[in-house]
Amino acid sequence: MMSLDDLPNELILLVIQQLPLPTLITSRRASRRWKQLTESAQLLYGRKDLLGLYFEAVHNQAFLQMRPALIPLLSRFGDRSRYLVSVQSEVASPLPQIFVTWVLEWPTRAAIGEFWPFWYALPPRGPDAPPGWRVGTSLLGARRIVKNVILGGEPIQDGVVSCRQTYDFQKEFCQHPNRATGLVTSFDDKFSIEMLIIAGHGSAQSFVGSVCTLTSQNRLHVGSGWVPFLKAELRRQESAIRNPSG
């Protein structure tokens, strides 16, 4: 009987393109041939970036050290599709594709830090907290959405734009066409809010898919995409473990 390994590379590549992230992770470990083909395949829906993030994570010392503390706190049975529908219902445009793929397909036990939509409990931010744990609160699970971050209309300089918040959505629509909608990912004790921009109008459309920081000075720092943000979080955790007093 013919097996997948008997197929020519061209057909295997077509198969690989359709695989979800967990299967890609497994297939990449199957053999040298499958690893090479997976690396060269044109993967859909941001899976190539997420696959790279996964293997970077499992070779990160901080990530490995945090597993014993984090895994018992993770809910394995969160309804991923329902979560996305709940967030999607708040906006009138599709969510960033790579975020959708991450929510649907990222392995639960590989959650990076506190960034996971299905927490049922958070560890204390004290002596018993996992190494590298952030000071602040994860809000992904709360589905907290800031509908209007109004851009002030000033040109972007050094990755920063002026802005102000408003919750009067209809009233501000005509007055401020340049606005963004963000899913809050964390809030720290210095009153800065990190948001994944999930929708934008006017000039704010270019920010969709970026993780931006809104500071207490009412300035929006335009950051990187979702996967680069999580990679930076891995590096931050590793630095925190190496320099605990810093």
List, for residues 25-82, the tens digit of each pLDDT value. 998 877 888 888 888 888 999 999 999 999 999 999 989 988 888 888 776 667 999 9
E strand spans, 38-107: none
3-state secondary structure of 200: strand
Residues 149, 165 contacting (CB under 8 angstroms): yes
Tens digits of per-residue pLDDT, 88-138? Answer: 988 878 999 999 999 999 999 999 987 888 875 555 555 666 666 776 667
Confidence (pLDDT) at 170: 40
Structure-model confidence comparison of residues 83 and 170, the more confident one: 83
Domain borders along the chain are 9-44, 50-246
pTM, rounded to two decimals = 0.85
Enumerate residues 6+ apart whose C-beta is below 8 A from 21.
47, 50, 51, 54, 101, 105, 106, 107
The span from the CA of 211 to the CA of 214, in Å, is 10
CA neighbor of 181 nearest in space, from 218, 155, 144: 144
Tens digits of per-residue pLDDT, 209-228? Answer: 999 988 877 788 888 999 99
Amino acid, res. 172: E
Sign for the pseudo-dihedral over CA of 59, 64, 66, 70: positive
Band of the pLDDT at 172, cuts 50, 70, 90?
A: very low
